[in-house]
Chain A
Amino acid sequence: MAKINNKTKIEVTDGVLIPARDDSSIFSAWRIAFYGAISVLVLLPVLSPEPYCHVFKFVVGFNEDWHFDFASSGLVKTFEVTVLSIICALIIGLLVGLGRISRYPVINRICTVYVEVIRGIPLLVQLFYIYYALAKFVKIMDISAAVIAMAICYGAYISEIFRAGIQSIPKGQMEAALALGMTRSQAIYRIILPQTIKVVLPPIGNEFIALLKDSSLVSILAVSDLLRRGREYASTAFYYFETYTMVAIIYLILTLFFSRLVAIMEERMKTDVNQG
């Protein structure tokens, strides 16, 4: 019997390992790293408030009396860049991914060239290009430049995930939809994409985490994200070791937290399907 369901899994080759509960070795490694990082984050400022506590406050965005200041928060900036970028990248990725399976050769070619070009240029170079090189023609604000560059770059990678996900759906699904009188776009929207979501969710979660990490590159532009705030602090207080230790720990906690979240989401989807 031909089994048509969502057993298809896209192999993930880079980024953080997603700790599923049934994979005990990775899951326990995740626990050690996550709770270890949290302990370090708590213990260092407690045992040695000067400078660790100050670094923490400065980077995350608390003032002297622990009031949270949105505007100066590196954490908020990092999230702002990451979330805006991933939303734009998902839109670009979906459109380009659909373009790559299009029957129209022109659309197909344009999308394929886009992916090849973007994947061949380092993200840092793309950031410089959009912020500095294109400044000759248009002045793009710091955060917009960062979001545009990250979205264009990650859109290319995500389009590959969508393409692979769509192509992993058995072709009998499209044929059955067409045979029932649906147009190709109705079939894609109603039949193919809903099944694709479950397949692409884990790799897209991974891209989100990778993007969160790569968002530190925007500290090069005048965007005050976590890393940039760290640099500002270190360069005035000269606590390089202490500052970058705290910054690294914060990034680590964030990525480990989100990788677990992705794993939980994936488990949910699996059980949803089984129970119907």
Chain B
Amino acid sequence: MSTRVKVSNVSKNFGHVVALNNVSCEVKQGDVFFIIGSSGSGKSTLLRCINRLENVTSGDIWIENDLVTGPKANIRKIREETGMVFQSFNLFPHLNVLNNITLSPRIVKKVSIEEAEEKARILLKRVGLLEKERAYPEQLSGGQQQRVAIARALAMNPMVMLFDEPTSALDPEMTKEVLDVMKDLADEGMTMMVVSHEMGFAKAAANKVVYMDNAEIIEMGTPQQIFDNPQKERTQRFLRNVLRT
């Protein structure tokens, strides 16, 4: 399987705060790459560096053969190739569901309205919200909003999807409907990087799990390796604390 995302010795500082310290990892095509760790460990920053919502301080990131970091990078191409889903959904409140999804394909990829809408309806059907195409975001529940946000990201045909704590703002019922959509995506072979606290979902859907603490990758492996047989003391302590609650 070819490498989709390659992160090589990346560091990121915010002033004096070190958010990422010499982080390296590789995501292959079709991987469901799970990043766990306590808050402030640098998980979200890592995702945000991959589509350059943040600039790295040092190190390199590649998506396929495109260098993301560095002054010559084609940032827009990189962002077209990466879909991002946010904790706070960030749907556009002044546009209805259909326009939320079709706006970017139309103005960025210059797709015709008919084609964009046809695609949007296919995606809405996939996330189970076809009947909501005329609704505005504030008329939807949190889980529905997040599913629309996933459809919106998919409309750009990304090569890799970045999920930044997609269910942290949702109550358990809604969490499930979002995770179901993500599970379907994973089963269809979408390459995904997921920052989340949903350990159960990680066990069921992930094929790689990374534990981050204090701006560094502590341990990396299959879900079985990390959850059932963690090698590092810090990983063991984190999992004990998380799984107890």
Q: Do A and B bind each other?
A: yes
Q: Could you list which residues of chain A lie within 8 angstroms of chain B, going by C-beta atoms?
A: 1-2, 4-6, 170, 172-173, 175-183, 186, 190-191, 194-195, 273, 276
With A172-B88, A178-B79, A182-B104 known as contacts, the answer to whether A5 contacts B138 (CB < 8 A) is yes
**Are A176 and B169 interface neighbours, CB within 8 A?**
no
How distant is A136 from chain B, measured CB to nearest CB, in Å? Answer: 49
**Are B93 and A195 interface neighbours, CB within 8 A?**
yes
Q: How many angstroms from the CA of A273 to the CA of B169 in the assembled complex?
A: 23
Tell me which residues across on chain A come within 8 A of B5, comparing CB atoms: none
**Are A190 and B51 interface neighbours, CB within 8 A?**
no
Asked if B80 lies at the interface with its beta carbon under 8 angstroms from chain A, I say yes
Asked if B96 lies at the interface with its beta carbon under 8 angstroms from chain A, I say yes
With A2-B169, A276-B135 known as contacts, the answer to whether A181 contacts B104 (CB < 8 A) is yes
Tell me which residues across on chain B come within 8 A of A186, comparing CB atoms: 107-108
Asked if B42 lies at the interface with its beta carbon under 8 angstroms from chain A, I say no
Tell me which residues across on chain B come within 8 A of A2, comparing CB atoms: 87-89, 169
Q: How many angstroms from the CA of A191 to the CA of B103 in the assembled complex?
A: 10
Tell me which residues across on chain A come within 8 A of B104, comparing CB atoms: 177, 180-182
**Are B53 and A182 interface neighbours, CB within 8 A?**
no
Q: Which residue of B lies closest to A274 (CB)?
A: B138
A-B contact pairs, 15 of them (CB 8 A): A2-B87, A2-B169, A4-B89, A173-B90, A175-B90, A176-B92, A178-B79, A179-B83, A180-B153, A181-B79, A181-B104, A181-B109, A182-B104, A183-B76, A195-B92
- Contact partner of B92 (CB less than 8 A), chosen from A178, A183, A191, A273, is A191
Q: Could you list which residues of chain B lie within 8 angstroms of chain A, going by C-beta atoms?
A: 51, 53, 76, 79-80, 82-84, 86-94, 96, 103-104, 107-109, 134-139, 142, 149, 152-153, 156, 169-170
How distant is B36 from chain A, measured CB to nearest CB, in Å? Answer: 22
Tell me which residues across on chain B come within 8 A of A194, comparing CB atoms: 94
**Are B76 and A195 interface neighbours, CB within 8 A?**
no
Tell me which residues across on chain A come within 8 A of B139, comparing CB atoms: 276
Tell me which residues across on chain B come within 8 A of A276, comparing CB atoms: 96, 134-136, 139
Q: How many angstroms from the CA of A173 to the CA of B82 in the assembled complex?
A: 17
Q: How many angstroms from the CA of A177 to the CA of B104 in the assembled complex?
A: 8
**Are B94 and A181 interface neighbours, CB within 8 A?**
no
Tell me which residues across on chain A come within 8 A of B92, comparing CB atoms: 173, 176-177, 191, 195
**Are B53 and A179 interface neighbours, CB within 8 A?**
yes
Q: How many angstroms from the CA of A214 to the CA of B35 in the assembled complex?
A: 60
How distant is B81 from chain A, measured CB to nearest CB, in Å? Answer: 9
With A186-B107, A190-B103 known as contacts, the answer to whether A179 contacts B88 (CB < 8 A) is no
Q: Which residue of B lies closest to A2 (CB)?
A: B88
How distant is A251 from chain B, measured CB to nearest CB, in Å? Answer: 36
- Contact partner of A181 (CB less than 8 A), chosen from B88, B137, B156, B169, is B156
Q: How many angstroms from the CA of A182 to the CA of B156 in the assembled complex?
A: 11
Tell me which residues across on chain B come within 8 A of A170, comparing CB atoms: 88, 90
Q: How many angstroms from the CA of A186 to the CA of B83 in the assembled complex?
A: 18
Q: How many angstroms from the CA of A177 to the CA of B87 in the assembled complex?
A: 15
**Are A181 and B96 interface neighbours, CB within 8 A?**
no
Q: How many angstroms from the CA of A190 to the CA of B108 in the assembled complex?
A: 12
Q: Which residue of B lies closest to A171 (CB)?
A: B90
- Contact partner of B142 (CB less than 8 A), chosen from A1, A172, A180, is A1
How distant is B88 from chain A, measured CB to nearest CB, in Å? Answer: 4
How distant is B150 from chain A, measured CB to nearest CB, in Å? Answer: 12
**Are B138 and A175 interface neighbours, CB within 8 A?**
no
Given A4-B137, A176-B91, 18 more pairs with CB closer than 8 A? A1-B170, A2-B87, A4-B93, A6-B93, A172-B86, A172-B88, A176-B149, A177-B104, A178-B53, A178-B79, A179-B153, A180-B104, A180-B152, A180-B153, A181-B156, A182-B108, A183-B76, A190-B103
Q: Which residue of B lies closest to A175 (CB)?
A: B53
Q: How many angstroms from the CA of A139 to the CA of B79 in the assembled complex?
A: 53
**Are A182 and B93 interface neighbours, CB within 8 A?**
no
How distant is A255 from chain B, measured CB to nearest CB, in Å? Answer: 31
How distant is A172 from chain B, measured CB to nearest CB, in Å? Answer: 4
**Are B156 and A180 interface neighbours, CB within 8 A?**
yes
- Contact partner of B86 (CB less than 8 A), chosen from A1, A6, A175, A182, is A175
Q: Which residue of B lies closest to A198 (CB)?
A: B94
- Contact partner of B169 (CB less than 8 A), chosen from A1, A5, A6, A179, is A1
**Are B88 and A180 interface neighbours, CB within 8 A?**
no
Q: Which residue of B lies closest to A5 (CB)?
A: B93
Tell me which residues across on chain B come within 8 A of A177, comparing CB atoms: 92, 104
Q: How many angstroms from the CA of A186 to the CA of B109 in the assembled complex?
A: 13
How distant is A190 from chain B, measured CB to nearest CB, in Å? Answer: 6
Q: Which residue of A lies closest to B99 (CB)?
A: A190
Q: How many angstroms from the CA of A181 to the CA of B156 in the assembled complex?
A: 9
How distant is B157 from chain A, measured CB to nearest CB, in Å? Answer: 11
Would you list the 9 A-B pairs with minimal beta carbon distance, nearest first? A2-B88, A176-B90, A180-B104, A276-B136, A179-B84, A172-B90, A181-B108, A181-B80, A181-B79
With A180-B152, A183-B76, A276-B96 known as contacts, the answer to whether A4 contacts B103 (CB < 8 A) is no
